[in-house]
């Protein structure tokens, strides 16, 4: 394997704050939605994989599949679980062990390090590939690139297409193109099935997460609400990206359905009550969708659209 690497790049620090319970996952997603970056290009020729990243000023040739992969995003933790054997993973995030958010909880043995964004700690793992995201912090990536470590920067997951692109890029680079294709085909079947459902009048849905966060235009959640056959109240209000919404605006918009990241509908109602929305929600339906679905930027996210569509079709 040879590599020609220069400075630049991004690595995640927000995940650490979230893992300590200091930052809600929705707030972490808000940071990724505030950044945009040129796309990574991956070339396949015979047994050689080329990673060309204009943001990192990086062009890397991998002449064999990586055997010591370090993942610095929860989405790539989850994707790698279905793409490669566990002995090819040299490090994952601490979030991977949290069943509230991770579809790969319990998959990785405790012997595999749960890593931070420390360049020294990462280099000590001797990785031959580090997977980061478009929302990650630049400092550690500079150190990795400068040390000659190949870095794969995945899209941030602001749409189903970005989630699909991330899985496709990762599958190509780790030599699991066929496995990735199977997962991507399943996503397309789910999307086609949901798009084929007819609804007389789309219900008006407001996503509401801890801290008063909602998702407007240009977010994955907005797309999932539409895919479920509903209208996103945040979009009606011309809100962009992930942002906080005040109680007064919630009251004025009069949602018919609240979608809350929670395990049960009772927990979702309690979360709204704690946020001071008990009188505002009135007769509106409250639907809980697990965070592992509605706050995921891995392929599991399409489950949120299916869950919401099924709930909306049930009699309240």
Give, as one character, the DSSP assignment of residue 59.
E
Check residue 240 and give its pLDDT: 92
Instruction: Quote the longest CA-to-CA distance of the chain.
Output: 63
Check residue 56 and give its pLDDT: 74
Looking at the structure, give the CATH architecture of the domain made up of residues 204-313. Answer: 3-Layer(aba) Sandwich (3.40)
Check residue 25 and give its pLDDT: 45
In the chain, which segments carry CATH 3.40.50.1980? 2-188, 204-313
Per-residue pLDDT tens digits for 179-192: 999 999 998 998 89
Residue 272 CB contacts under 8 Å (≥ 6 apart), including other chains: 208, 258, 260, 278, 281, 286
Per-residue pLDDT tens digits for 223-257: 999 999 999 999 999 999 989 999 999 999 999 99
What whole-number distance in Å separates Cα of residue 222 and Cα of residue 234?
A: 8
> H or E segment at 270?
helix 265-274
Domain topology for 2-188:
Rossmann fold (3.40.50)
Residue 73 CB contacts under 8 Å (≥ 6 apart), including other chains: 12, 15, 93, 131, 132, 133, 136, 154
Check residue 316 and give its pLDDT: 66
pLDDT of 19 strictly over 60: no
Check residue 109 and give its pLDDT: 97
């Amino acid at each position: 394997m040879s590599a020609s690497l220069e400075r630049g790049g991004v690595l995640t620090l927000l995940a650490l704050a979230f893992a300590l319970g200091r930052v809600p996952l929705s707030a972490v997603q808000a940071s990724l939605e505030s950044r945009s970056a040129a796309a990574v290009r991956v070339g396949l020729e015979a047994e050689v994989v080329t990673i060309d990243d204009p943001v990192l000023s990086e062009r890397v040739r991998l002449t064999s599949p990586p055997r010591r992969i370090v993942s610095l995003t929860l989405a790539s933790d989850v994707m790698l679980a279905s793409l490669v054997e566990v002995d090819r993973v040299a490090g994952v995030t601490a979030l991977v062990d949290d069943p509230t958010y991770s579809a790969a909880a319990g998959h990785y043995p405790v012997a595999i390090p749960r890593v931070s964004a420390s360049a020294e700690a990462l280099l000590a793992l001797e990785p031959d590939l580090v997977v980061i995201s478009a929302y990650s912090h630049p400092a550690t990536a500079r150190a990795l690139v400068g040390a000659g470590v190949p870095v794969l920067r995945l899209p941030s997951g602001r749409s189903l297409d970005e989630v699909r692109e991330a899985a496709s890029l990762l599958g190509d680079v780790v030599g699991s193109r066929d496995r990735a294709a199977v997962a991507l085909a399943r996503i397309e079947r789910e999307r086609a099935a949901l798009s084929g459902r007819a609804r007389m009048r789309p219900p008006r849905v407001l996503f509401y997460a801890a801290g008063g966060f909602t998702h407007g235009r240009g977010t994955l959640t907005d797309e999932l609400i539409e895919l479920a056959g509903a209208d996103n109240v945040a979009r009606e209000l011309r809100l962009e990206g992930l942002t906080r919404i005040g109680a007064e605006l919630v009251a004025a918009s009069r949602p018919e359905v609240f979608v809350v990241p929670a395990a049960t509908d009772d927990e979702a109602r309690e979360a709204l009550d704690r946020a001071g929305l008990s009188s505002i929600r009135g007769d509106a339906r409250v639907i809980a969708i697990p965070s592992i679905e509605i706050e995921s930027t891995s392929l599991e996210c399409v489950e949120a659209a299916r869950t919401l569509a099924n709930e909306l079709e049930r009699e309240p």
